[in-house]
Structure 1
Amino acid sequence: MAAARGGGPGGEERDRRAHGAALAALGFAGRAAAILGPSETPAAPMPTAIDPAGIHVHLSTREARLDETDRGGLARRIGTGDYSYAFAMRGFIEGLARIGVPHTILPDPAGIADIRDRSPAACNIHLAFYPPEQLRLLKGAFNIACAAWEFDRLRLPAETLDPHAFADQATMLALPDMIWAPSAHGAGAIAASVATPVRTVPSPVSATLRAGGGLPTAERIAAIAARLAAISWQPLAIFPRLQGEMNHTADLHRHALADILAHAGTATPTIFVTVLNVHDYRKQIRPMLQGFAEFSRSRPDALLLVKSSTPARGVQPINSFLLAEQIFDVGELSRPLVSDRVWITDDVLTRTEMDDLYDVAGFYVCTSHAEGQNLPLLEAMGRGVVPVSVDHTAMADYVRPDNAVPIRSHRRPFDKRLSRRYGMFGLETHFVDPADVRAALAAAMALPPGDYAARAAAANATVRDLYGEAALLRALREAIELARRRDADG
């Protein structure tokens, strides 16, 4: 333990006693006795609440903390590999701040010899936000891997072709003291392969119900569109054999949201929104685009806004990225997908602009094969946006008929495209057909105002109840207890 924290005569002795008392208060009797001596060590039961003075949470991820007010910084990171772990860490940082638990972000936990030499806390907890293959531990801390997983099992050793020593997922996830997975489905898939304790502990999500509670009014839509004037949208324009010409035409038809609404043909369109990384095959956006384009022919008052992300924005037109990453499949003839009712942007939005994007929408659409938590959907629900969504994997925890319009899905074997991307074989996942999307869209737009308002309030309440501070407090208490037992066992 670093010895210079006291400051002045008797300072070191005061520090020694305070640190020993904090250890004892948290139940770390062995470590307290080593500092105070058996005669000075008080007997104290494990507290039912967390004493912020007794613990310190250290958080780390491969990327630095996100500054969601910095558009330039976001542009360099949004869409890069595993960038969503930084967003998950953001939720824990905000949750820890709300419950008053001291915390620090560590840029390089593996480079610290022993955190107890730097931290005066009785209990140091490390929340590590990494994919399993890149996990980093903090020596001297109780290490918790915050690992998201979406499929039914981890990758098998036979499927791990990388010769790197850290490549096997189950081997890496056996290293931490505990694993927090953000969904019950992911926790079950991980627990089947490791002996490490696994718990369902999702990233906390803010639940701030937007004003009104019902579908956005024409006045509210116009006000938000004015605030989003800097964001450029272009129409869905995919035509495989003429894609170069389609890209040029789509670029000529770039508009701000206010211009799109002015030519929508209706004073108050019903706006649907979705958020995705264009390179993420799990998103399964093709049936969404096909289903919406077909649906909007009979309901031109419906608009879909697609907020996409890619680290190569500006290098290639976004419609070309959609074609290559989400539409094209070997052995199939890709059909044209053109619609002036589907608008796409790959611009970078700040946190305030993302909240505005959610608030302008009546519904959030999700057709994913599988998800680990799906933070954009939860963020939208927290603001009272009603999901039109599949209800499997992570979404099974929070998408229900009383707070959403579920989209029917079907379990089928991985196709070649998914097997090639994720290197896994013999698995099933969830598929959606365009007809299922059309049916759900029609059901959503047929909701009476009172029914919509009830589902919007239920969506907000679901996020508040399941993704608030209470779940984080329970998880931290258990982690402290396990750390205490580990200390007692030597």
Structure 2
Amino acid sequence: MIIIIYSDTNAASIASNLGLPEYSYYFVLKEFRPVLEQLGIVVTVSDPASEVDAIYRSARAHGESCVFLSFSPPHKTVVDLACPTIPVFAWEFTTVPNEAWLGEPRHDWRHVFNKLGCAITHSAFTADTVRQAMTPEFPVTAIPAPVWDRFSALREKCSIANHPDGVVLNVAGTVIDSRNVDLSPYSPPRRRLPKPDLLRPPALAQREPVKVHIGGVVYTSVFNPYDGRKNWYDMISAFCWALRDVEDATLVLKLTHNDARIGIDNLLENIYKLTPFKCRILLIHGYLSDADYENLVSATTYVLNTSHGEGQCLPLMEFMSCGKPAIAPVNTAMADYIDSDNAFVLDSNTEPSHWPHDPRQAYRTLRYRIDWGTLLSAYQESYRVAKQDPERYWQMAQHAVRQLQRHCSQAVVKERLLAFFSNHPGLAGSAIPQTAEKVSA
């Protein structure tokens, strides 16, 4: 079997595309690839319109089945190929786009689904949303990125690691530490910094990495500061109010964007408004080696998500796969793996919103609004558990590992892919292995 794969961002462009729309599809494709390679010969293309059908015709001429997996949103998926094409996409809103604009019929995702006949998404929530737009029988399946196995070594380290003195990270980039930057509006004029909107972090390219020590009860969130869906203002404000007098509570914000200068300014402006506080906030923008990323995960007590919705949220899945309990809502894709046994659950309710790629910004859908009071309580209770109830903490950690294994291990993903391919009309009669056991044998 020939499996053709594509994402608009690739290894050559990821550095410049980091944080731009759909950049995360590249990381999703990377996670799927090891499983796909167990099912067939994987071929990467950079221009589906010109490359896919030539590969498809060659495969068919040699008696091989062939399928094209386009890791891209439906409106950016090529729909007129001879090769069976399956969009693999993430989505976090209560409706899929069902209108066309700017003369492009693919903006109405129903047009794409009708053309292609099936789809793969990453959550039960999105699969149900697609069926609501199409028919209850429409062939769409929920298959998350298989991240769990990749963290087996780190998971073992985290299960036995103890960092009473914290860890030191080496950051090739910018670090802003609320302990070292005086944000207090009450400080004497000679020590007062310029207004946060005038602050500029140093250039990212530095000869020596910045060394930063983190310890205590650590809350970590990895997000793009320009993505309004991440709802970072609630994340920061509730942290500062809940733990403002707690010196050993640290909020680590790992920013993912190729140029986060304006985003950092916005973050600093909002942190400035929350002063004074004794808890610590760390903004990290820059490259972390694998060893330093592992140290960040190891030092983290809780992984944090306060977004308006998620298509799957790879960082949340990664940290939880390493046994880090979460603070997160149970909605959209997170409902597949977040529960009260592995997380401090945040309440949320729907509010009007628009599809992010709709230039009209017309209210056609709903997103989820976090209940700020439950976030405040989650910070306080999670801190208490970390300090005073180690048995409950480790139960939550172990449940996180087990739940993510059931959700996003390679074995689970392989089984779901096999089932979906076996039922795909364009692959009927092809030599697709029927069970995961046969594939791995």
Q: Which bin holds the TM-score, normalised by the shorter protein? A: 0.7 to 0.9
Partner of 1:156: 98
| Fraction of identical pairs, as percent | 20
Larger deviation, residues 129-138 vs 82-91? 129-138
Which ranges of structure 1 fall in alignment gaps of 5 or more residues?
1-54, 67-72, 262-267, 328-333
Say whether residues 1:320 and 2:320 are aligned partners. Answer: no
Contact 1:412 1:431 in 2 (8 A): yes
RMSD over aligned Cα atoms: 3.4
Residue 470 (structure 1) aligns with:
411
Q: Deviation of residue 380 (structure 1)?
A: 0.7
Residues 238 and 375 of structure 2 are in contact (CA less than 8 Å); yes or no, is this contact kept in structure 1?
A: yes
Alpha-carbon offset, residue 258 of structure 1: 5.2
TM-score, length of structure 1 as denominator length: 0.73
Compute the displacement of 1:122 (Å): 2.2
Distance, in Å, in 1 between the alignment partners of 2:221 and 2:56 is 44
Q: Which residue of 1 aligns with 2:363?
A: 425
Normalized per residue, which structure has more strand?
2
Alignment pair present for 1:274 and 2:221: yes
Choose which of 65, 83, 96 in structure 2 pairs with 1:123: 65
> Helix, strand or coil: the match of 2:115?
coil
AA partner of residue 235 (structure 2): M
Query: Using the alignment, how far apart are the partners of 2:142 and 2:197 within structure 1?
Result: 44
Is residue 75 of structure 1 aligned with residue 22 of structure 2?
Answer: no
CA 1:486–1:78: 2 relative to 1, 3 Å: closer
* Residue equivalent to 1:303: 250
Once the two structures are superposed, residues 13-43 of structure 1 have per-residue CA deviations (whole angstroms, 9 ceiling, x without a partner) of xxxxxxxxxxxxxxxxxxxxxxxxxxxxxxx
Contact 1:74 1:348 in 2 (8 A): no
The one-character-per-residue Cα deviations of 1:416-439 (angstroms, maximum 9, x if unpaired) are 998988834154332124332220
1:155 CA displacement: 2.2
Partner of 1:211: 157
Which residue number corresponds to residue 400 of structure 1?
Answer: 339
2:396 corresponds in structure 1 to 455
In the alignment, is the contact (CA less than 8 A) between 1:274 and 1:306 conserved in 2? Answer: yes
Which protein shows a greater Rg? 1
Q: Offset of 1:61 from its aligned partner?
A: 0.9
- The one-letter code matched in structure 2 to 1:129 is F
Pick closer, same or farther for the CA change 1:197–1:229 going to 2, 3 Å.
closer
Q: Counterpart in 2 of 1:56?
A: 2
Q: Structure 1 residue 177: deviation in Å?
A: 3.6
- Per the TM alignment, residue 77 of structure 1 is displaced from its structure 2 partner at its CA by 2.1
Q: CA deviation at 1:288?
A: 0.8
Tell whether the 8 Å contact from 2:196 to 2:272 is kept in structure 1 after alignment. no
CA gap of 1:213–1:136, structure 2 versus 1, over 3 A, is: same
Secondary structure of the corresponding residue to residue 107 of structure 2? coil
For residue 233 of structure 1, give the secondary structure of its aligned residue in structure 2: strand
Unaligned runs of 5+ in 2: 186-191, 430-441
Which residue is 1:446 aligned to? 384
Task: Please say if residues 278 and 309 of structure 1, whose CA atoms lie closer than 8 Å, have aligned partners that are also in contact.
Answer: yes
Q: Could you list the per-position Cα deviations for residues 66-102 of structure 1 after superposition, in whole angstroms to 9, with x for gaps in the alignment?
A: 7xxxxxx6431210111011111111013334x4643
Q: Does 1:434 find its partner at 2:434? A: no
Distance 1:297 1:239, change over 3 A: closer
Change (3 A) 1:249 1:311: closer
Show the counterpart of 1:17.
none
Match of 2:121 in 1: 181
- For 2:139 and 2:115, how far apart are their aligned partners in 1? 11
Paired AA for residue 133 in structure 1: H
User: Residue type matched to 1:479 in 2?
Assistant: F
Matching of residue 337 in structure 1 with residue 274 in structure 2: yes
| Mapping 1:251-266, distance limit 5 Å | 251=201, 259-261=212-214
**Partner of residue 103 from structure 1, selected from 26, 37, 42:** 42
Query: What residue is the counterpart of 1:85 in the other structure?
Result: 25
Superposed CA offset, 1:229-251 (max 9, x none): 545321468899x9953356685
What residue number does 2:316 align with?
377
